[in-house]
Every structure is written in structure tokens, then in C-alpha cells.
Amino acid sequence: MSTWWSRLKALTRRLAAGEKADRALDEEIQAYLREDIDARIRSGDSLEEARRAARAELGGVEQVKERVRDVRTGAWLDALVQDARYGVRTLLKTPDYSLAVVGSLSLGIASVIAAVAFANGITFRPFPGVRDQRELVDVRLEECARSHSGCIPMDTRHEDYLALREAATDLQGIAASTATTVAAALPHPRPLSASLVTANYFDVLGTTAAVGRTFAPEEANLDRAGVAVIAHRLWMREFEADPTVLGRAIRVADQDVVIIGVAPQRFAGVDLRIDRSGPDIWLPMPLVDRVANATAVSDDPPTGDRYFRYIGRLAQGSSFEQVRAQADPIAQHITARNGIRRPVRAAVRPVRMYPRDELAPIIALVLAVGSIVLVIACVNAANLLLARGSARQHEIAIRIAIGASRRRIIRQLLTESLLLALTAAVLAVPLVWWSLRIASGYLIVPMPLDLTVLAATVIVAGASAVACGLAPAFRITAHAPAAAFGPAQATGATRAQTRGRRAILVVQVALSLGLLAGGVQLVTALSALHRSSGTPPDRLLIASFDLKQLNVREADAETFYAQLLARVSRLPGVQAAGLAPARAVWTFHRGKGRDNSVVVWRPADGPREGTVPLGGYAAGHLIEALGLQVLQGRSFTDDDRRASRPQVAVVNRPFADQILEGQALGATLRVAARGQPYTAATEVRVVGVIEAAQEPSYVRDPPYAVPTIYLPAPLEPAYALALYLRANESAAVAPLVRDVVRQIDPRVPILQLESLAQADERIFLAENTLARATAILGLIALFLATWGLYGVVSYMVTLRSREIAVRLALGARPSTILRMVLSNAMTPAALGAAVGAAAAIVIGRVIQSEVHAPGGVNPAAIAWPAAGMIAVMLAASALPAARAGRVNLLQLLKEN
């Protein structure tokens, strides 16, 4: 112990002494030498002989000093400090080179950190404000298709929830929730995303209010249920974070509710998805029938049920299977009650932001792209280090000659690359922080730069330092010192070195071309899938309304929509306007809303054999506004529209083909609103077949359209409708529509007002963002690659400038030299471009099969980057070659 103590003292003393300790050591060895010489003279040697013998025995003052330094406590620390100091000095001496390496590495490191932050954000981040998330389970009552394994949640009733709560004794608690959009007056009319929850919802999630309280048990009764918890975001935005908001009454649908609490910041229950920001307001479940428009997603015959999500918290030591077994009888009970003929089951799953299978490919894609950028950056840096190493061969040869070991030199070079990588990492962090700030505007997933991400940064920086520094360090120190002083050095590179560089070049060109072309193809694929028929998405404006929430009478609703249609049709720039239930034209993969559900019976169908297509009431010039062509027969006439009950119908191509087997025109159908019995159905005659409005799709299926039927008059009072406007410029018309609505009835909120292009953008935000991120990373990779390529190629040519000058002096023609230089650079470039293009074609095919891109592989996406890269390589080799041609041979020979 005392030994350790004295070593520590020695270390601190020496560190305090600094250079003095080294001088003392030097002096001590010199004194030894003098004593030795004296002694040798005393024994009869001449001064010269004595000196030589003494020095020979000592073996060099510096070497002895080096050995003493090696045994000192903290020798490695000394060495590190020394290496680092030396490294900083060396790197500062050539700032342009250092900047190039740091810049390249920081872009590469930033890409990986961003990818890690993204993966970290969506995999490991818990739902904000939710306690012990691991205990939470999703209890789903599902009905499954017979033919395949796909299961969708069943619609259920409140009594099913009560039964579930009773049965699931292995849960500490179970809560139900259902989502809807409500019209609220705050006091300005405004649509709010609402979640109707059971009173125990916040308790099950373990969430306490940021301000005020959450729901109390007695608020499960209708007469006490006029209360609300608002989202932190809404509180900030609408109430300026005023704490006195508690107790204030707001109007939601036609219901007055009192604000009792504010949810914690970012709390969104367990519904948070990549493209959704979560509810604005939570309301007690008893209000569900008052405020919620139907959001049932089921295709099956109408029931009074709706979709509820059930979240449970597992009791200590309970298993998923126990809960599943307890919930299963309830699923069977619902089947019997609702007459469901398909298999049903209860499923219990952990609550996650994303299901694992959905997440894995996204994370893999993002991490892979980020890593490829880093690889390119490392290759760049390695090339630069190698080039720099050749230039430093003199210095290194001298260090080896005066006694430095190869290991020591390698350590020195690695320390330098570590310094560069750490600087790069330090620069990368703000770069990532800034880009994540931008990204988090689009993606709701929190992507904080937490400890995991910072640890990853350090690891990535270290790894890239080793990756880009190791090979050059070995290469550079592999030369015999003599070679560095000889004339061979002038050519700058051994044959192996040149081959190595060429190989790196091929890899670099191939990687960046493949990545970039893949990214471009992904982006074009994703944007190309948007509708090929009908009104262009940016010219179709959609505005949706729900008057049911305002509790208006049927006649008032009718008047409102009639006035709306008449006035917007007269707006400047509007070509056609029509009304239809929300999601009657496109489902946007959210299922058919109940509002637009029509049940249709063919003449031969029995009462229980009706089908539920998309569509329903279509007012005004809907088909014209959508820009759908009439393929057979005709569109609606004013006479059709004047009838109070529909007498005719227009169907789309899939309806005609699939339901009417091609014999559409003139067919007679019975139609009823969903929920009405067969006996209440009306007979209609099909007078026209129109082109289908294709569903936008990123999934593997080919583009498809749902069978759709349109009727010129409503089957039941229409409260919730969407306005479809074909305009020259939807952005210019949108504020005019807002004005028109305000003039007709200022209480009516516009639930959504956006062009179809905006709706697509919103709904496929995650996919779009990922595609763009990939393309941006591809651009960074291209930038890095061209930069690196230029550096390497021009360096390789510069190394040969002596040879070029000699050849020219000996009478070679400049064109011959140029051809030689160009072929040397272009061969690896062409090879790399070929490999990269092949990779890009493969990537294109994969993308095509995954997202269904029309047109398949995009040749332009490959040709442009390839052409650009080859142009860069041409410039990089031709410019130094031209310079070499002007070199004064005498000057060059003198230098060597």
C-alpha cells in the first residue's frame, strides 16, 4: 500500500515538475557518461577512445531516457499526452487536411448518431407520463378472417367492458378508451382530437395530472361526467398555460364540460404513433354517445357497438396467457350475441409504441443507411490519412531511425486519427441536435440526445478512428527507413499501395452510387404512387364537417349544406363542388366510417346477404369535382338530385365488376342506410359506371379501389359530410371556403381543411419522412464520395507529377500522358460505377416489390449520379495532370 502511495506521490511530483523531470534525467545520464569517460581515461584510454567506448556502452542517451520513461508510473499517460500534443501540433500544421478529415468524419458520425437516436427514440422510449410500462397489456377481442390469419378488433359495448373487468382477475385494473374528433368552442370553434376513457384510465396508466386532477370514480356516472382533462399542448396553446383554467367550462359537441386537470407534458396515453400527436382532450366514457360520431371500422352488419381499446395492468406474477384465458369467454359471448360467423379470439399483447415486426425493417433501413454514410466517410478519411502518411514518410523514417519503435509510431498515428474523430464527434452532436429538432416537427417520436445516444457517439467515434486510422498506420510504417530517403520515395507509392487505393476507389464509387440511386428511387417510388386518375391531388380541396355535434335539427343541416354547396360553387377559381360523407371516396386505410356505410342487396340476395360498399350520398357535382370519368351511362342530373329519396345510382368500376359481374347498367339494387332493416331499403337503378378513385398505397398490394356506390339523395339525415372542391389552386380557395362557412354559421367548425395532396402528406408522413431522410443521407454520401474521390484521384496524379515531367522532357506527347492519367483513374471509376449501378438496380427492384412503384427501376436515378461522379473523377485527374505538364523538370530534380 505504501508503495502505491509513494508511486502516486512520484507521479504527481513529476506531473507538477513537467519538463524539469526530463531535464534532471538528462543531466543524470550525462553525469554518468562523464564519470565513465573519466574512469576509462584513468585506466589508460585516450580521450577519443574513452568517449567512443562510453557512448557505445550507454547505447544512446535518448534511448535510455525512453526506457526510463517507459517504467514510470503512468507511462501510458505520459505517452498519450505526448502523442496528443504532438498530434495537435501536426494536425494544426496542415489545417486544410485536418479540416477535410474532420468534416468528412463528422458528417458520417452525425448520420449514425441520428439513426441511433431515431432507433432509440422509437424502440426504447417509454410513453411519456406512463408508469411501469412493462406491466401494461393490450387486451384485444378480435375476429379473424377464415381464409388468412389477419385479425381485426371487434366492436364491443360498455357491458363487454364491465364483463372483461369482472373476468380478468389477473389484472390490477383494466381501462377502456375510444378516439374521436369533437367540435369544441374554446370559445372559438375548433375541432379537437378526443379520447373517451373510463374513469380509471389514468389510474391504470399510473398517470397523475400536471395541474389539477384526473377523473374520480363517481365520474363514471352520466350525471357527474361533465368534466374533462386537457392535454398539456392544448393548455399551452389555447390557454397560455394559465393555472386558473381549472373549473372553467368549455363546450364540447353540445355538452358543457368543466376542465378539472391538465395531463403531463407529452402525455398521449398509449396511443402515440409516429404520425399522430395524441388526443387534445380526455372525456369520461358516459359522454361517448353525446360527443362521438361513429368511428366503427367493421364491415359487418350494423350493431350498436363501437371500437374500444382495452388497456390492462398485469398483477404481480400473472402471465399474458392467464389474462387471455380469462378474456376469451367474453369474445365468444360477443360472437353469439352479434351473430358473427367468423372465428373470434382474445389476444393479450405488450403495449408498445410500435409492434416489433413493423418496427424492425424501418430501424434496419435507417441504421443501414446511416452506417453506409459513415463507411464512406471513413473510407474518405482513410484515404486522406494514407495520402498524408506518404507525405510524412521522411518524418516517420527519421523517428524510426532515432529509436522510435514501430508500435510507438502506430500509436502516434492512431492517436492522431482519434483526435480527428473526437473533434468530428464533437461537431456532429450539434449537427444531429439541429437536424433532430427539424425532424421532430414531423415525427412525434421523442428523439432526445440521451445517455444511450451519447454513449453511441463515443463508441462510433472511437470505432471510426480505428477503422480509418489502422490500415493507413500500418501501411505508412511498413517501409524500411532507407526507402524513405532514397529516390524511390518520389513516386510516392508502392505497387501494393496503389492497388489498395484503386480498390478503395472502386468501393467508394459503388457504395455512394448505390446508396444515392436507391434513395432517389425510394423517393420517386413513394411520390409516384399517388393517384394516376382524377383531379390532381393539389387541386382537390377537402373540407369536412360534423353538424351532429352541434345538435342541430335535420332541416338546419340540410339548409347549411345546400347553402355551402351553392356559395362555394360560385367562388372564383372553383370548377366543381360536391358533398359526400367523410371517407366515402377514399378510406385512407382507416376503414369505412359508419356515416358513409350503405348496405346494398342485389335482386337475388336474401335479407342477411347485403354487402357494404364505400360511398353513399353524393351531393352536388361530386363526380366532376373528383375528376372521375364516366365510363358507361351517365352521371347524375338535376332531376336525380331533386328527388327526396334516391331513385338512381352511379357505381364505380370495381363495384360493376366485382358485385354486379359486369352487368351494371340498368341493374336494380336495394339500398339502405347501415342500421336500417332490409324492409326499409329503397330500390335504385344503376344509370352510370365511373372510373374508380384509387386508394393511395405504400403497401405491397397493387393499387386498388374499393367498390363504391353513389346516390343522388340521402337515405338518412346527413349531418357529417365532406366538401370536395376542384379548384385551379386549392391554397387560394381554402381561406374563401373558411369565410363562406363563417358567413353561413359561425358556430360550425371545419374539422379538416386541406388539399388531397396535404392529406396524403399527413397520412403517409412517416413513409415520406423516411424516404426523404434516406434521400438526404444519400446526398450527403454523394457529397462525401465526390469530395473523397477528388482528393484521392488528384493526389494519385500529383504523386506521379515527377514521372510525368520526366516523360514530357523525354519527348512524350501531352495527349499520351493525359490518356495514361485518365485511364488510370477511369478504370476504377467505371468499375465502381458498374457495381454501384447493379446494386442500385437490385435496390430498385426490392423497392418496387415492397411499395409497388409504377415504372420500376428509374434509369435517371442511376444515370445522373453516375455521370456526376465520372465528371468529378475526370476533373480530379485532368487538373493535376495539366499542372504536372507545366512543372519545370530542373526544379523537380533539384528538389529530390
Residues in contact with another protein by the rule CB under 8 A: 2-3, 5-7, 9-11, 24-25, 27-29, 31-32, 34-36, 38-39, 57-59, 63-64, 67-68, 70-73
C-beta atoms surrounding 521 within 10 Å: 31
Using the minimum distance from each CB to another protein, give the nearer residue, 59 or 355: 59
Using the minimum distance from each CB to another protein, give the nearer residue, 9 or 819: 9
How big is the chain, counted in residues?
A: 896
- Name the grid cell of 332: 365468444
Using the minimum distance from each CB to another protein, give the nearer residue, 60 or 339: 60
How far apart are CB 33 and another protein at their closest, in Å? 9
Using the minimum distance from each CB to another protein, give the nearer residue, 29 or 297: 29
How far apart are CB 17 and another protein at their closest, in Å? 13
Between strands 614-617 and 708-711, the pairing is parallel
How far apart are CB 90 and another protein at their closest, in Å? 29
C-beta atoms surrounding 253 within 10 Å: 23
- What are the CA-CA distances from residue 472 to residues 184, 378, 393, 469 (Å)? 66, 12, 12, 6
How far apart are CB 476 and another protein at their closest, in Å? 28
Q: Which residues contact 891 (CB under 8 A, 6 or more apart)?
A: none
How far apart are CB 779 and another protein at their closest, in Å? 56
Using the minimum distance from each CB to another protein, give the nearer residue, 10 or 152: 10
Q: What letter represents residue 622's amino acid?
A: L
How far apart are CB 409 and another protein at their closest, in Å? 21
DSSP calls for 286-310: GGHHHHPPP-----SSP-S-B--EE
β-bridge mates for residue 540, sequence order: 726
Q: Which residues contact 508 (CB under 8 A, 6 or more apart)?
A: 376, 379, 380, 383, 785, 788, 789, 792, 832
How far apart are CB 63 and another protein at their closest, in Å? 7
182: closest CA among 289, 274, 299?
A: 289
How far apart are CB 86 and another protein at their closest, in Å? 23
**Cα angle, residue 19 at apex, residues 18 and 24 outer, rounded to 5°:** 110
Using the minimum distance from each CB to another protein, give the nearer residue, 24 or 249: 24
192: closest CA among 284, 275, 280?
A: 280
**Contact at 8 Å (CB) between 593 and 721?**
no
Using the minimum distance from each CB to another protein, give the nearer residue, 21 or 449: 21
How far apart are CB 408 and another protein at their closest, in Å? 16
Question: What is the phi/psi pair of residue 211, to 5°?
Answer: -135, 140
β-bridge mates for residue 424, sequence order: none
How far apart are CB 28 and another protein at their closest, in Å? 5
Using the minimum distance from each CB to another protein, give the nearer residue, 60 or 304: 60
Using the minimum distance from each CB to another protein, give the nearer residue, 5 or 357: 5
**Contact at 8 Å (CB) between 857 and 528?**
no
66: closest CA among 41, 102, 29, 94?
A: 29
* Strand order, beta sheet including 574-580: 619-620, 574-580, 720-727, 540-546, 752-755
- Name the grid cell of 760: 396524403
Using the minimum distance from each CB to another protein, give the nearer residue, 21 or 210: 21
- What is the spatial distance between Cα 160 and Cα 140, in angstroms, rounded to a whole number? 12
**Cα angle, residue 77 at apex, residues 74 and 83 outer, rounded to 5°:** 145
Residue whose C-alpha cell is 388531397: 756
How far apart are CB 34 and another protein at their closest, in Å? 6
How far apart are CB 402 and another protein at their closest, in Å? 15
Using the minimum distance from each CB to another protein, give the nearer residue, 67 or 813: 67
Using the minimum distance from each CB to another protein, give the nearer residue, 36 or 558: 36
